Structure 1
C-alpha cells in the first residue's frame, strides 16, 4: 500500500507482518484476468493538473462528485481504505457514518494549497473487494467553487477500458504519473485483503508511498480508479507485495508493477444529497 513510508512502517508494527496492506507515503502502483490491449497502449492523454486534488497527512485524495450530484450537496473526498485515520479496516469490515474531523489541503491547478477542507464524517470505508474511504465535508461544491474557483472531479459510472491513457495525480507529492491501463486483475491479494477487478498499470506509473488515494483520471478528466498499491520486493501475496490471482487460482507476481481500484461502481450507492444508500439498485459495494 502507498502511505508515507514512516506511517506504513508504523502500521506494519501495529498490525503484524501478515496482516497489514500496502504503503501510503514514499511510493507507487500495480494484473488482471489478463485482458491487456496492446493496440491502444500508445494512446495519449491531455495534460492533467492538480485542481480538485487534496493532500492528506499520509496519503493523497480528491474532491469528487457523481454524475447526479447537485452543487448544493455536501462535497465528498475520495481516498483509500488504508488511509483511514483510525487504521486499516479489517478484512470483511465496512465502516459507514463514522464521525471524523479530518482535514485536507485543497490544491489548485499548479499544486498550490489554497484552502483547508474539513470532514464531518466518514461516509464509507472498506478494504474488502475494494480499497476506498469516502469522506463527507462540511462544505458544499458550490461553496468550494465560489470561494476557491475549484470544481470537484467527476467519478465515471462506466467501467474503465484496457489500454486507455491515464494520469495518477498525487496531491501528497504534487506529482503526476502518466501511463496506460495494462489490464484488469480478477483478484488482487495483499496480506489478508482481497480486491476484485483491480486496474493494473503499465510500468511508466512507478508510483511510490504517499500516492495512496490518488485519483486515476482518464482522457475525459473523469476519475476511473483510485491508486492503492504495488509489488515492491517481488514477494507473493504479502503486505506491500500484492499478487494477482486468476479465475483458476493461478498466482502471478509482477515486481515493480502498481495497481488501482476501480470506482465506477460507487455512484450507484449515493443518492440525492450525496447520501449513501447501500441498498440502492445497482449498488454492489460491500455492506457492514
Structure 2
C-alpha cells in the first residue's frame, strides 16, 4: 500500500540504493498536511522509487511538467494523497467530497469485511492549486464511507461546498466518471502528498488482487511508467483525455513476494496467481456515483449501488 516509508533520506542519498537505510523521522514534503495524526505511517516502499524523490523532497521543489492534467483539486493528507471530487449529478451548493484510500483513514486499516459509514471526522486536507501550491486547509465533518473490502476507498464530506471552494480559491472539483475505464486509456496519477504526477496507461485489470488479508476486485493495473511510491496512496487516477477520475491509486508489488503486504498478487478467474514485481495498481471508482443522491447524500440502497455495505 502506497503510504510513505520512514527513512533517513540524507543517508540514502549519499549511500546509494545498495545501502540499507537507517530508520529515522521523515521530513514532511512541501504541502503535506501535518495537522492531523502523528505523521507518515511506516509501511515499506521500494527503495529505488524513494531515491528518485530525494532531490525534490530535500529541496522542497516541485518538478516542472507539461500536459493538461495538473494538481488543481488534489489534496495532501497527513499520510496520503487525495482529491476533492464531485459526482456527475452533484450540484454546486452540495457539500464537497474528498476521495482517498480506505487504508488512509485516521482510525487505521478497516478489517476484511468491514465497511465504515457516516462516522464523525475532523480530518484536514491541504488543497492544492494547478501548480501544486497549497492554498487552503479544508476540514471534513464526516467520514461518509470507507472500506478495504472489494475496493480500497474512502470518501469524506467537507464542511464547505463546491461553490465556496471555487469562489474562494478558483479551484474546481474533479468529477468521478460513472463509466468503467478500458485498457489502453492514457492516465495520470496525481499525488498531492509528493506534488508529483505519473503518466502512463491502463495496462489491464486484475480479476482479483490479494494483499495480506485483503482482496480487491477488478483492480486497475498500470504500465510500468507509473512507478508510484509511498505517499501516493489515495491519488486520483485521471483519464488524460476527459479529465475525469476513473480510479484511486492504492498499491504496488515492491519486492516480488506473493500476496503479502506491499506485494499484492493477481488472481485470475481460473485461480492462477501472477506476481508482477515493480507494477502498481489502483481501484476503480465508477461504482460510486450510483450510491450518491441529492445533496451528495450516500444511499447504499440506491438502485445500481454495488459497493460493499456494512
TM-score of the pair, normalised by structure 2: 0.81
Does structure 1 conserve the Cα–Cα contact (< 8 Å) formed by 2:188 and 2:238?
yes
Deviation at 1:46, TM superposition (A): 4.8
Q: 2:248 aligns with which of 207, 226, 232?
A: 226
Deviation at 1:97, TM superposition (A): 0.7
- How far apart, in 2, do the equivalents of 1:248 and 1:25 lie? 30
2:163 is paired with a residue whose SS is helix
The equivalent residue for 1:246 is 268
State the 4+ residue runs in structure 1 displaced beyond 2 angstroms: 21-28
Residue 194 to residue 228, structure 1, CA distance change in 2 (3 Å) = same
Deviation at 1:24, TM superposition (A): 8.3
Two-structure CA RMSD over aligned residues (Å): 2.1
- How far apart, in 1, do the equivalents of 2:307 and 2:168 lie? 33
The equivalent residue for 1:283 is 305
Deviation at 1:48, TM superposition (A): 1.2
The equivalent residue for 1:174 is 195
- How far apart, in 2, do the equivalents of 1:25 and 1:136 lie? 32
The equivalent residue for 1:141 is 162
Deviation at 1:25, TM superposition (A): 11
1:147 is paired with a residue whose SS is helix
- How far apart, in 2, do the equivalents of 1:115 and 1:46 lie? 24
Residue 66 to residue 22, structure 1, CA distance change in 2 (3 Å) = farther
Residue 76 to residue 198, structure 1, CA distance change in 2 (3 Å) = same
Greater gyration radius? 2
Gaps of 5+ in 1: 10-20, 29-44
- How far apart, in 1, do the equivalents of 2:247 and 2:96 lie? 18
The equivalent residue for 1:270 is 292
Aligned pairs, number: 261
The equivalent residue for 1:16 is none
**Offset from partner CA, 1:104-150 (integer Å, 9 cap, x none):** 00000000000000000100000000000100000000000000000
- How far apart, in 2, do the equivalents of 1:25 and 1:104 lie? 26
- How far apart, in 2, do the equivalents of 1:23 and 1:100 lie? 27
Deviation at 1:6, TM superposition (A): 3.1
- How far apart, in 1, do the equivalents of 2:75 and 2:201 lie? 23
- How far apart, in 1, do the equivalents of 2:100 and 2:228 lie? 15
Residue 24 to residue 97, structure 1, CA distance change in 2 (3 Å) = farther
- How far apart, in 1, do the equivalents of 2:67 and 2:217 lie? 29
The equivalent residue for 1:92 is 113
The equivalent residue for 2:13 is none
Q: Does residue 1:77 correspond to 2:98, yes or no?
A: yes
1:6 is paired with a residue whose SS is coil
The equivalent residue for 1:32 is none
- How far apart, in 2, do the equivalents of 1:134 and 1:146 lie? 23
- How far apart, in 2, do the equivalents of 1:144 and 1:121 lie? 18
The equivalent residue for 2:224 is 203
The equivalent residue for 1:131 is 152
The equivalent residue for 2:14 is none
Deviation at 1:277, TM superposition (A): 0.4
Gaps of 5+ in 2: 8-22, 24-41, 51-65
2:278 is paired with a residue whose SS is coil
- How far apart, in 2, do the equivalents of 1:24 and 1:151 lie? 32
Deviation at 1:22, TM superposition (A): 6.8
Does structure 1 conserve the Cα–Cα contact (< 8 Å) formed by 2:5 and 2:43?
no
The equivalent residue for 2:4 is 4
- How far apart, in 1, do the equivalents of 2:94 and 2:44 lie? 32
